[in-house]
């Protein structure tokens, strides 16, 4: 912990955590003015992990660009791949085969389950709840195994291609999905008993870090954190893409079960519920994979996109992820712009941290599921 502070006057002190600190969910700096141990004002400085990704995409050819796209959100890489593919397919007017769409959907829902499990593990670690985090990490490995079986990699799969996916469904994949979803349903009940019904865990999160729907809306919050505050916005429902319109699922909202709507506990509960919904979608989707091609066209290394532009939205595990692709028909993109959910979501954090004790801020930060790599890009 790089932990510096100076005394301002009698009881107000200026504290600073980071850039590298295990109590933060990534590499950034958090400065706070604290009165006693209550945070009165918080400031955040990000950008340490800036990697120049958007410029790097402009310099890459269309064929190799997926490598950089994978690194937009390294924790859930398939969503950025999907947004990029949808945008390119719109410009080139490629019809994605139905089979490829369902395969994409299966992998994305799997990615959502994995990312939410990762979130729960991080939240458990932030509350010092090692045992729960170990159980969750055990189940996250099951999801990563499925990824490996299908795409060949655990992270950065580089699997979605323009007009489809890189490979057909692996033998035994569907049986494994059924097996895993059944197991995870049981495990979710276990987490429910371990976390949601645990009074010590509730005390750490309920009534803490309350985010009202108005604040969430005025700061442009999206994703599960916004839904926990009661904002009902889910791209999968509102503008169905990649065949989500064929599946019936519920969008869980924060109810304030143990505290008030939009508190830290709601943000945990909403994500647990979302895992359950994703598992339902998964078990329906693997049973309804249509026959046909998995790839509409093979991308040659000198693939070019005709002049034009497109804008695509997907619902990533953290919120609205959108991609604006502009091409002038050349060998490189003119611009690939990303709207990443975390960079908007982090705007509410200084608001929410007001009035939180110093001991509590890691828990509240963890409850927002921020990906710093996604903010800095």
Partner 1 sequence: MRTFLSAKLGNLAAWAQSSSLWYYTITGGCCADEMLSVQGCRYDLERFGCLPQAHPEQADLLIVSTAVTEQMAKVILDVYDRMPSPKYVMAVGACSNSGGAFNERVSYVKSRPLEQVIPVDVFIPGCPPRPEAIMNGLILLQNKIQERGANENAP
Partner 2 sequence: MRTLLKKLESDFGQAVTIKKFGRSDQFVVEIEAEKLVEIATWLRMQEAFRMDFLENLSLFESKGKTVFSYFLRSGSQGLQLVLRTSLATPNGGARLEIPSILGVWSHAESFESEAEKMFGVHFSGENRASSVRKNFGLGDEYPLRKSFEWGDRVEL
Partner 3 sequence: MKEFFDLPIVTSSYGWNAIFGLDETVSVLFVLPVAFAVFLLLILYPLFFLLGFTERKLSADLQARVGPNRTPGKGALQLFADTIKLGAKSANTGLSLQRRRFLPSLRTAALYSSFAFLPLGTALVFLDSEVGAFLPFACFGFLFLVPLFSNEGPNEAEDQIMAHRQSFLWLSAWIPALLTTLIPVARAGSAKWTALLSSQSDGVFSWTAFSSPFGFLAFLIFLFSGLVALQLPPFHSLDRGTRRRTGPDLAEFGLNEFYSLFSWCIFTSALFLGGQSLREISDTSFIWAAYQLVSTLVKASVLYLGVRVTARALPQIRQDQMTEFCWRILTPVALVSLMGELLWTSVFSGGAQ
- 52 lines the binding site for partner 2 (CB under 8 A): yes
Residues 329-358 close enough to bind partner 2 by CB under 8 A? 334-335, 337, 339, 343-344, 346-347, 349-351
Of the candidate residues 33, 35, 90, 293, the single one contacting partner 2 (CB under 8 A) = 90
Number of C-beta neighbours around residue 199 at 10 A: 9
Do residues 309 and 327 make contact, with C-beta atoms less than 8 angstroms apart?
yes
Binder to partner 2 among 64, 288, 298, 359 (CB under 8 A)?
64
Q: How many residues bind partner 1 (CB under 8 A)?
A: 41
Q: Shortest Cβ distance from residue 11 to partner 3 (Å)?
A: 8
Are 344 and 222 within 8 A, CB to CB? yes
Q: How many CB atoms lie within 10 A of CB 45?
A: 12
What token pair was written down for 3?
Answer: 């932990």
For β-strands 29-35 and 335-339, DSSP reports them as unpaired
> Cα–Cα distance between 228 and 214 in angstroms, integer?
13
From the list partner 1, partner 2, partner 3, none, pick the one residue 208 interacts with, judged by a Cβ distance below 5 to 8 Å according to partner type.
none
For residue 366, state whether it binds partner 1 (rule: CB under 8 A).
no
Distance separating alpha carbons of residues 24 and 46, to the nearest angstrom:
12
Residue 14: what are its φ and ψ, rounded to 5°?
Answer: -105, 120
Asked if residue 263 lies in contact with residue 281, where contact means CB atoms within 8 angstroms, the answer is no
Report the SS3 class of residue 350: helix
Residue corresponding to tokens 């690939």: 336
Tokens coding 176: 């494994």
Residue 296 interacting entry, from partner 3, partner 1, partner 2, none, C-beta within 5 to 8 Å by type: none
Answer whether the bond into residue 36 is a cis peptide, omega within 30°. Answer: no
* Site for partner 2 contains 233 (CB under 8 A): yes
Question: In the complex, what is the shortest distance from the CB of residue 123 to partner 3, in angstroms, rounded to a whole number?
Answer: 10
121 binds, among partner 1, partner 3, partner 2, none (CB under 5 to 8 A by kind): partner 1
Shortest Cβ 374–partner 2 spacing (Å): 12
- Could you give the CA distance from residue 282 to residue 247 in angstroms, rounded to a whole number? 10
Listed in order, strand segments (DSSP E) in 144-302 are 160-161, 164-165
- The minimum distance between CB 245 and partner 2, in angstroms, equals 14
Minimum distance from residue 366 beta carbon to partner 3 (Å)? 12
- Binding to partner 1 in span 37-56, by CB under 8 A: 47-53, 55-56
44 binds, among partner 1, partner 2, partner 3, none (CB under 5 to 8 A by kind): partner 2
Per CB under 8 A, does 309 bind partner 2? yes
Closest distance of CB 135 from partner 2, Å: 34
SS3 of 89, please? helix
Question: Alpha carbon 370 to chain centroid distance?
Answer: 8
How far apart are alpha carbons 371 and 374 in whole angstroms?
5
Cβ atoms 38, 356 nearer than 8 A:
yes
* Residue placing its CB nearer to partner 2 in the complex, 208 or 344: 344
Q: Rule CB under 8 A: is residue 5 a binding residue for partner 1?
A: no
Tokens of 169: 């469904």
Q: How far apart are CA 100 and CA 151, in angstroms?
A: 13
Q: By CB under 8 A, tell whether 140 contacts partner 1.
A: yes
The residue (of 136 and 325) whose beta carbon lies closer to partner 3 is 136
Q: Which is closer to partner 2, CB of 37 or CB of 328?
A: 328
Tokens found for residue 198 = 């645990």
State the nearest-atom distance from the C-beta of 240 to partner 1, in Å: 29
Interface residues toward partner 2, by CB under 8 A: 41-48, 50, 52, 54-55, 58-61, 64, 90-91, 93, 217-220, 233, 238-239, 308-311, 313, 320, 322, 324, 326, 328, 334-335, 337, 339, 343-344, 346-347, 349-351, 376
Q: Would you tell me which residues interact with partner 1 (CB under 8 A)?
A: 1-2, 19-20, 22-23, 26-27, 47-53, 55-56, 59-60, 67-68, 71, 74-75, 77, 118, 121-122, 134-135, 137-138, 140-141, 144, 154-156, 372-373, 376
């Amino acid at each position: 912990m790089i932990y510096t502070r100076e005394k301002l006057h009698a009881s107000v002190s200026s504290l600073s955590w980071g850039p590298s600190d295990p109590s933060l969910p990534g590499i950034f700096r958090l400065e706070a003015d604290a009165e006693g141990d209550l945070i009165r004002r918080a400031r955040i400085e990000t950008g340490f992990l800036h990697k120049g990704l958007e410029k790097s995409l402009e310099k890459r050819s269309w064929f190799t660009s997926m490598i950089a796209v994978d690194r937009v959100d390294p924790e859930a890489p398939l969503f950025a791949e999907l947004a990029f593919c949808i945008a390119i397919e719109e410009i080139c007017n490629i019809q994605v085969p139905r089979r490829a769409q369902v395969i994409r959907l299966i992998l994305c829902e799997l990615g959502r389950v994995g990312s939410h499990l990762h979130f729960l593990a991080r939240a458990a670690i932030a509350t010092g709840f090692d045992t729960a985090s170990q159980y969750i990490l055990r189940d996250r490995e099951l999801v990563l195994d499925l990824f490996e079986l299908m795409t060949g990699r655990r992270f950065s799969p580089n699997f979605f291609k323009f007009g489809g996916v890189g490979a057909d469904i692996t033998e035994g994949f569907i049986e494994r999905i059924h097996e895993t979803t059944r197991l995870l349903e049981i495990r979710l009940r276990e987490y429910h008993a371990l976390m949601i019904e645990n009074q010590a865990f509730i005390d750490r999160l309920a009534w803490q870090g309350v985010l009202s729907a108005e604040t969430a809306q005025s700061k442009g919050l999206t994703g599960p954190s916004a839904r926990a505050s009661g904002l009902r916005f889910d791209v999968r429902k509102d503008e169905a893409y990649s065949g989500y319109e064929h599946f019936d699922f519920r969008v869980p909202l924060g109810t304030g079960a143990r505290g008030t709507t939009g508190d830290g506990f709601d943000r945990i509960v909403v994500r647990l519920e979302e895992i359950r919904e994703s598992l339902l979608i998964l078990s329906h989707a693997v049973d309804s994979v249509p026959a046909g091609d998995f790839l509409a066209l093979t991308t040659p290394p000198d693939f070019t996109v005709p002049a034009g532009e497109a804008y695509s939205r997907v619902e990533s595990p953290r919120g609205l992820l959108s991609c604006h692709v502009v091409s002038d028909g050349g060998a490189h993109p003119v611009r690939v712009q990303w709207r990443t959910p975390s960079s908007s979501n982090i705007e509410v954090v200084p608001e929410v941290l007001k009035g939180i004790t110093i001991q509590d801020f890691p828990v509240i930060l963890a409850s927002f599921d921020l990906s710093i790599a996604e903010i800095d890009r």
